């Protein structure tokens, strides 16, 4: 079994969700605006309540199958994708080989839109 899979997915999810709730993710490249993070959380909660997006836990479980690694940051944003405004989860993932990846996921469908090395 790969070391990344030794912890149950719910353990990793709880860490990510806790980080979102505390609005205190670690990022070395710039200072996080706490008001912006709170705003992301409020938008995500409202969009979920309206049925516009899937729950973060479902998104993370689906992405874990497609992009193995440790999710270290999650942002929720409104993006223009191919001419349409959609909600997206932007995930920062440390791959098993140590690379930092950024995955853009359609929050309504869970489809992986884009992945790039950060």
Percentage of the residues of the chain whose pLDDT score is greater than 90: 56
Predicted confidence (pLDDT) per residue in 50-63, tens digit: 988 999 999 999 99
Q: Which CATH architecture has domain 3-117?
A: Roll (3.10)
92 forms bridges with which residues in the sheet?
A: 73, 102
- The pLDDT assigned to 31 comes to 37
DSSP classification of residue 96: T
Give the dihedral sign, CA 99/105/107/111.
Answer: negative
Confidence band, pLDDT 50/70/90 cuts, at residue 39: low
44 and 74 Cβ atoms separated by less than 8 Å: no
Query: Domain coordinates of the chain in residue numbers?
Result: 3-117
Confidence band, pLDDT 50/70/90 cuts, at residue 22: very low
DSSP classification of residue 104: E
């Amino acid at each position: 079994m790969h070391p990344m899979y030794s912890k149950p997915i719910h353990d990793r999810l709880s860490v990510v969700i806790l980080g979102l709730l505390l609005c205190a993710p670690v990022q070395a490249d710039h200072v996080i605006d706490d008001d912006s993070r709170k705003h992301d959380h409020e938008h995500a909660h409202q969009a979920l309540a309206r049925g516009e997006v899937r729950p973060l836990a479902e998104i993370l479980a689906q992405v874990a199958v497609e992009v193995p690694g440790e999710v270290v940051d999650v942002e929720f944003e409104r993006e223009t994708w191919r001419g349409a405004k959609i909600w997206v989860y932007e995930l920062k993932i440390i791959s098993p080989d140590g690379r930092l990846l950024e995955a853009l996921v359609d929050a309504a469908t869970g489809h992986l839109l884009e992945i790039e090395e950060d």
